[in-house]
Amino acid sequence: MQELITCFEVPSDLKKTRQNQMKKIDIQAVRADFPILSQTVNGKPLVYFDNGATAQKPKVVIDAITKYYEEINANIHRGVHTLSQLATDAYEVSRNTIQSHLNAKHNYEIIFTSGTTHGINLVANGFAAILKPGDEVMVSAIEHHSNIVPWQMLCERTGARLVVIPMNENGELIMSEFDRLLNEKTKVITVNHISNALGTLNPIAEIIEKGHKVGATVLIDGAQATPHLRPDVQELDCDFYVFSGHKVCGPTGIGILYGKESWLNRLPPYQGGGEMIKEVTFEKTTYAELPHKFEAGTPNIAGGIVLGKAIDYLNSIGFDAIEAHEQELLAYGTQRLLEIEGLKIYGTGAKKASVISFNIEGIHPYDIGTIVDKLGIAVRTGHHCAQPIMNFFDIPGTVRASFAFYNTKEEIDIFVEAVKKAQQMLS
């Protein structure tokens, strides 16, 4: 029975193969790892450019889900029987994997959540017991709704004030305005690492350093960053860092909240129930130590285990190789799309991830998305849960093509021709 635990380890030969060959990505070998990429949609080979919404899953991740349910499915942490112990071990191995990946100081600073939104809400809820009227919570103009609404709700509950770091026409934060707005009333700063709608890479190291100088706590929304880079939370010195499993080739319904030990100890529990308690009486309940204090109820056990496998897979390829390949796609895709008359790209900052948001003059983005879908191409259209950005540019939304390490220049060529065809049909 004990040998079953090995099914949740990345094979050493795979690790070696990837390390040896992935100084530059072997794109065909990588694509072969993703079964969905070989299928057709509407009679055309699938071109998947909606990676900002969710990433596709490699076979090693799909197989790990199956193996868990076939071989060691059991509830964790409280069982003395063999299956429970094996499942618990695999779950905690995954926590250690993610600790190492983020370079967190302690494994109990890694909290399993249902995703980025859950992690942000957990922290925001905790600050309801800390903030006072007149305190300020600072967000940026390029946040996803998930990193705006929980803080708005918090401000409504506490009497704190929401302050917004503005952006410029390139989709970059105006740091001189950040400096001007920052003061001793700033208690929380919460910004995304990379914008989901524009691809902008924010100067979070500078934001964290300056925020700490005035005593602010800093949360980084890493949902869009973690597929492209490997954050070092100790080097960044952020107080919280959150991301979602499904965007890093893992399952949906699982995510990570990293929090500094001091802050996690200070915040009250977000939910009450099983696992997060130390002792319960009708008179008084005491809470479990970290990380269990924030992990009430039966968790997404399979998701937690398999998230570690997804992280292992990405590291086996190497984030330097991932970044180099994706930046190549970004440059090529930008060049090719700008060949199209009337096309405007939103998010033209100097530092950005492999995301291109654009419109064509006189054509609604939804119509473009519908036509290219008929040609087998998946892109995202709309406001991307970032309505303040769209309001800034006075547009209803954009077409967003978001590239991953398994995409190719040939797919970009197919996409560009499809957009040209859509333009001809809709003009």
Of the candidates 330, 145, 320, 105, the one whose C-alpha atom is nearest the C-alpha of residue 232 is: 105
- Please give, one letter per residue, the 3-state secondary structure of the chain: CHHHHHHHCCCHHHHHHHHHHCCCCCHHHHHHCCHHHHCEECCEECEECECCCCCCCCHHHHHHHHHHHHHHCCCCCCCCCHHHHHHHHHHHHHHHHHHHHHCCCCHHHEEEECCHHHHHHHHHHHHHHCCCCCCEEEEECCCCHHHCHHHHHHHHHHCCEEEEECECCCCCECHHHHHHHCCCCEEEEEEECECCCCCEECCHHHHHHHHHHCCCEEEEECCCCCCCCCCCHHHHCCCEEEEEHHHHCCCCCCEEEEECHHHHHHCCCCCCCCCCEEEECCCCEEECCCCHHHCCCCCCHHHHHHHHHHHHHHHHHCHHHHHHHHHHHHHHHHHHHCCCCCEEEECCCCCECCEEEEEECCCCHHHHHHHHHHCCEECEEECCCCHHHHHHHCCCCEEEEECCCCCCHHHHHHHHHHHHHHHHHHC
The string of pLDDT tens digits covering residues 135-162 is 999 999 999 999 999 999 999 999 999 9
Decide if 385 is catalytic. yes
The string of pLDDT tens digits covering residues 378-426 is 999 999 999 999 999 999 999 999 999 999 999 999 999 999 999 999 9
At residue 259, does pLDDT exceed 60?
yes
Q: Which residue has better confidence, 3 or 311? A: 311
The mean predicted confidence, pLDDT, of the chain is 93
Of the candidates 15, 51, 102, 31, the one whose C-alpha atom is nearest the C-alpha of residue 317 is: 15
At residue 286, does pLDDT exceed 60?
yes
Adjacent-strand bridge partners of 280: 285
pLDDT of 92 reads: 97
At residue 3, does pLDDT exceed 90?
no
- In this prediction, residue 13 has a pLDDT band, given cuts at 50, 70 and 90, of very low
Of the candidates 221, 182, 183, the one whose C-alpha atom is nearest the C-alpha of residue 202 is: 221
Q: Which residue has the tokens 């790892």?
A: 33
- In this prediction, residue 23 has a pLDDT band, given cuts at 50, 70 and 90, of low
141 HSE (CA, 13 A, CB side): 19
pLDDT of 288 reads: 83
Q: Which of 7, 155, 238, 385 is catalytic?
A: 385
User: Rounded CA gap, 324 and 25, in Å?
Assistant: 9
Question: Where exactly are the structural domains of the chain?
Answer: 82-315, 319-426
At residue 15, does pLDDT exceed 80?
no
Give me the CATH code for the 319-426 domain, please: 3.90.1150.10
Strand 186-192 with 217-221, pairing: parallel
Cβ 228 vs Cβ 249: under 8 Å: no
Q: Which of 54-68, 277-291, 295-309, 359-373 has the lowest mean pLDDT?
A: 277-291
pLDDT of 289 reads: 87
At residue 354, does pLDDT exceed 80?
yes
355-360: strand order across its sheet: 343-346, 355-360, 398-402, 380-382
pLDDT of 8 reads: 37
User: Rounded CA gap, 74 and 69, in Å?
Assistant: 9
pLDDT of 18 reads: 37
Level-2 CATH architecture, domain 82-315:
3-Layer(aba) Sandwich (3.40)
The string of pLDDT tens digits covering residues 315-350 is 999 999 999 999 999 999 999 999 999 999 999 999
- Which tokens sit at 414? 């197919």
Spatial CB neighbours of 424, under 8 Å, sequence gap ≥ 6: none
User: Rounded CA gap, 5 and 71, in Å?
Assistant: 9
The string of pLDDT tens digits covering residues 82-107 is 999 999 999 999 999 999 999 999 99
Cβ 86 vs Cβ 5: under 8 Å: yes
pLDDT of 10 reads: 37
Of the candidates 238, 303, 292, the one whose C-alpha atom is nearest the C-alpha of residue 8 is: 303
pLDDT of 121 reads: 98
Cβ 177 vs Cβ 207: under 8 Å: no
User: Rounded CA gap, 346 and 359, in Å?
Assistant: 8
